[in-house]
Structure formats: structure tokens, C-alpha cells
Chains A and B, each alone.
Chain A
Amino acid sequence: MFKIFKAFVKKEVYHILRDRRTLLILFGMPIAQILIFGYAVTNEFKDAKIDVLDYAKDQSSLQLVQHIQSSGNFLLNRILHSEKEIEAGFKAGTSKLVLVIPESFGADLYGNRPVSLQLIADGSDPNNANTLVQYALAMILDFQKERLKLAENPFQVRVETRMLYNPQLISAYNFVPGTIALILLIISAMLTSLTIAREKEQGTMEILLVSPLPPLLIILGKVAPYAILSFINAVLVLVLGYFVFGVPIIGSLTLLLIICMLYVITALSLGTLISTISKTQQDAMMRSLMGLMIPSMILSGFIFPLASMPVVLQYLGHIIPATYFIAILKGIMLRGVGFNFILFEVSVLLGMTLFFLFMTYKKFKIRLE
């Protein structure tokens, strides 16, 4: 029996090696994805252009502007002279934020009177505007503190924040686990469903079913090479994340790899399930793209936090395997938790996998009736 299995896997390897499209998805995609997510998807910014409308034009206002620039986040673009010029910068796209300093700025600051400043941001890009305003606010508060070291109010509330597990809020810490979840899903689920659908489309599946090969062996033979390749890819992404973006693995590496294995099996069973209901490769492709890829990207908490979504979408998010897998990955990699902390997520994944395998087995049998 093992010899037959070997002959089958060998054939599968030929298919993979001779198909450029498969090879590209297998090895090009993980690298491209991690680099794109790594360098393009980021909330950090540098040298954001800022316009200043300075009515005060005194020493303290100059010091404020200088202080804001000192962080490296902002760069002074233009000094404006009237309110009418504010929008011009936004419209031309040369500036994203305008700081308005009133005439009485210096006097109020030292005269112990309420000080007011105005920040105007380009709201057509809300995420960006929010971040810019927050950075600017932080710099202004900082400036105020520095100026007024003297008369410290003893009743002031001082808030010290600390971001545990990711003190610098590096976005790679979020997208490396997410990318692993996506890549394993694409390779395991999409490619296996494609390769099984291809046999059906070409009519070779019929020949295989007429041969003495047990159906289980056909499926195992088809998925085994992809299981191994997916696993290699998971390791590749972990290594890239570690060396290129410095994403740590604080918890147990063994546990991490075992969980990756489990998730690969989940994805493979999903892929075979999809292939039992699709007749052609195109069909399989559409189903895995629409049914797996897009929900896993949007509803798994990878890019948008689940907690802030409408309840219906939250429920949907909770039936997606990637949601649990990403939670486990973050737990092990960033917080260094042990098995007992991820027990719930692991058992959900396990349950899902068993369910998919059972469904696949049933569907496959029905097809033979």
C-alpha cells in the first residue's frame, strides 16, 4: 500500500513542479505578502507635512513649532498668513494638518490663563487624520509641560501608558501572525481544492476511482505534498518575520509548530470539502476566494478589530478558523503563553477540523453512490 501511495505522491510532485502558477503561489506569495504587509501596511509615519498659521509670531510660538518638528514625525511645510490659505494646502495635497496659533498664545501661556490652539486635519482620510492629530496633541502637551516645569499643580492627574508585549507598537507584530494564517489557508485550502478539481475537470478522477485505489488514499495522496509545503511556508514566514521585522517568538516553538500543523489540517480539510462540491477549477477558485480568503482577511481580526464590528459580523468572525489561529499565534509568539491559556481556541480549531473532515468523508461517499 505504501508503494502505491509513493507512486501517487510522486505524480503530485511532478504536477506541482511543472505548473508555474502553482509554484508562484507557493513560493512567491508568502514572500510578497509578508514584505507588502511589512512595509506598506503601517500606521507609523515620518515627516508629515504641516502648515502653520501663526498669529502670535512671538518667541513661544516659534518654540512650539520647533518642538513639534523635533520628533521627526512632522515637517513644517508652509507658514500661512490668513485663514483663507488653510484649505489650499489640503486641496493641493501638500499638507495634511494645519496648526493655528492665536495672537495671545505667549501671553496666555505664561499668564496662567487658559491657552487655546487649533488643529485642522484633512478628514477625507480619517485614519490618517486621527493619527496625525494624536501625535500633534502629544507633542503640544509635552511642550506645555516643559515650559511650565515651574508651577506644578500637585493635583494633576498623570497618566503613564505602557504597551505590554509590543512597547513600540510595531505593526509587524500584528501582521506576521495574520499573514501566516492567510498563507496557510491559501496554500492548503485553495491549492488542494484546485488540484482535486483539476482531476475532475480532466476526467482523470474517474480513472482513479475505477482503479483499486481506496478513495481515502486518493485524498491523502493529493493533500500530503501540500501539507508539507504549507508547513515549510509557515516556517519561512516565521523566519522572515523574525529576521526582517524582528517579531519575537517568546513562547514554546514546539507548541507553535504543533498548532501550525493543526491549522494546516483544518485548511486542508476545508480545501477537500470545497473540492467535493466544485466541478471545475474555476468553481473551486471562486469558492475558496470568496468563501475563505476574503472573510479570513476581513473578519478574523487580522486587519480590523472584531470587537468594533456589528454583532452579526462578530458572529461570522467567530466561525472562521483563522480568528482562533491568529489569537493562538499572538498568544504564543508575543505573550509567551503556554498550552493551558490557549486551550479554548485549540479545542475550537480541533472541533472545526473534525467537523470538516466528517463532512468531506460524507460528501465523498455520496458522490460515489
Chain B
Amino acid sequence: MPENIIQVEGLTKCFGDFTAVDAITFTVKKGEIFGFLGANGAGKTTAMKMLIGLSKPTKGMGSVAGFDIAKNPEKIKKRIGYMSQKFSLYNDLTVKENIRFYGGIYGLDKKRIRSKTQSILKELNLNDVAGTLVAALPLGWKQRLSFAVSMVHDPEIVFLDEPTGGVDPHVRRQFWETIYEAAALGRTIFVTTHYMDEAEYCDRVSIMVSGKIEALDTPENLKHQFKAKTMDEVFLKLAR
């Protein structure tokens, strides 16, 4: 049995009278690709923000990489990578400078930054544009670079918040390949999305509807359970 790298129990977040996340409970195993699904406004991003230390839980418990999210957010931050739905690189810095900057703020030493830069440039085939401003790159490239940069410090878990928002299907496909590559290296991937077809790529998925987790299993089991052919159908049945 692989250990649970994320463990959440009764996690709740209220904004005044409104309960954005309502007592959710789930675990994520080490090395799995966990899909965190839900419609816009279902509370995915709020839940994720509590896990990565951007927001404090109102009630409930949670631990990430073995540390309590309420007590030790600083220790968690060193062990996780994060890529937000907004584009997270600096447009007025070159590809190389972006990698160096993020390596720098995670406290990597010079040698390590240099070798990381080399390997990222090589893996993504970006050697020719290493000195180009990020603003000039096509969206698909930026996205993959953004993902690579979020893993510059070799985190145990990578949180991806709607990483494929606003990208065409072909590029989305490509992006998922890079996610698989990262998972193959033993990294845990926690990914939120509202594209149901992407759910099929995940090892396990949870589906959030208005603040609650309504379903949690492998895509196969969920389809079986809801007697549906695709994840899309599963979702439609749940949302009703």
C-alpha cells in the first residue's frame, strides 16, 4: 500500500454566510494523478488554496506531504510545486531568466540552477529560444515551460489549477503527455479541471458539486457506478 501524501478530513471554508467548501474528506496516494473535478464555482480552487497554504481552513484538518496545513504551511511550501490557471511566467524575462529566477527563490544553488536550466531547455526543446522573451513564445510552449518551472525544485507534489484553460485540444493532449512524464518520475499530481474528457487521463478523480465531494473513484468505476459511457455523462448525472 503506497502512503497517503495528501490527507483531508472535514475540510471547510466559509466566507461569511457562504460555505464555499463543505466538509470534504479524501486522500491522495503517493505517485498518483488525482483529478479534482467540478463546475466553475464548485469550490475546487478554494479547496486547493487551503492545501497550498494560500488560505486558512475555517474547520477541519488536512495534511500535505506529512505536514499539517494549518500549523506548518511553510514546510509544505518547500515540498510542493504550483501552476495556476493564470499564466505564471514573467513575460518580460527570457526563458532562461524565468528558470533562473524560480530556481533562485526556491533557494537552489548556482550549480543546480545551471544543470536544471540545461535539462529543462533540452527536454522541452527550447534551446534555440533560451534567450527569447517569454512573451514571444506560443501559448502551448509557455504552458509546458510553466509546468517545468513549477517543478524546478523537484517537489513531491505538483498542484495544477486548471492548467489547460483556454488551450486548443491538440495542445491539451500534448500537455497531458508531459503530466504523465512527471508522474512516471514518481511525482504526485493534483490537478483541477472542468474538462471532463481530461478526467479520463487521471488515476482517480473526485467530483465536487456546490462545495461537497459527490463522487470519488477511478474513472472506470465511476462510469460503471453511474452507468455512463463517458465522464461527461457521469458529471451531468451528478450535477442534476
Contacts and interface: CB of A to CB of B under 8 A. Distances in A.
B107 A4 contact: yes
Contacts of B85: 203
Contacts of B55: 368-369
A206 B84 contact: yes
A204 B88 contact: yes
Chain A contact residues, majority secondary structure? helix
B74 A14 contact: no
Nearest to A368: B54
B9 interface: no
Nearest to B81: A210
Given A210-B77, A210-B80, A11 B86 contact: no
A18 B135 CA distance: 12
B100 interface: yes
A4 B153 CA distance: 14
Chain B contact residues, majority secondary structure? loop
B54 A208 contact: no
Given A210-B77, A212-B74, A15 B82 contact: no
B86 A210 contact: no
A19 interface: yes
B229 interface: no
A14 B105 contact: no
Interface string B61-93: 000000000000010011010111111111111
B101 interface: yes
Interface size class of chain A, counting residues whose CB lies under 8 Å from the partner chain? 20 to 34
A4 B104 contact: yes
B88 to A, nearest CB: 5
Contact of B101 (A3, A11, A212, A368): A11
B90 A11 contact: yes
Contacts of B56: 368-369
A7 interface: yes
A207 B82 contact: yes
B92 A208 contact: no
A48 B131 CA distance: 61
A354 B97 CA distance: 36
A4 B90 contact: no
B60 interface: no
Nearest to A221: B105
A212 B74 CA distance: 6
Given A14-B92, A210-B53, A368-B54, A8 B104 contact: yes
A206 B86 contact: yes
A18 B105 contact: no
Given A14-B97, A206-B54, A207-B88, A212 B107 contact: yes
Nearest to B75: A212
Interface string A1-39: 001101110110011001100000000000000000000
B52 interface: yes
Contacts of A294: none
B26 interface: no
A204 B74 contact: no
Given A18-B92, A203-B86, A368-B54, A211 B104 contact: no
A19 B55 CA distance: 33
Given A207-B84, A368-B54, A213 B92 contact: no
Interface of B: 52-56, 74, 77-78, 80, 82-93, 97, 100-107, 150
Interface of A: 3-4, 6-8, 10-11, 14-15, 18-19, 202-204, 206-213, 368-369
19 contacts: A3-B104, A10-B101, A10-B104, A11-B90, A14-B93, A202-B87, A202-B91, A203-B88, A204-B89, A204-B90, A206-B86, A207-B88, A207-B150, A208-B105, A210-B53, A210-B77, A212-B78, A212-B107, A368-B54
Given A202-B87, A208-B105, A212-B78, 17 more contacts: A7-B104, A7-B105, A8-B101, A8-B104, A11-B90, A14-B97, A15-B92, A202-B90, A202-B91, A203-B84, A206-B84, A207-B83, A210-B52, A211-B102, A212-B77, A212-B105, A368-B54
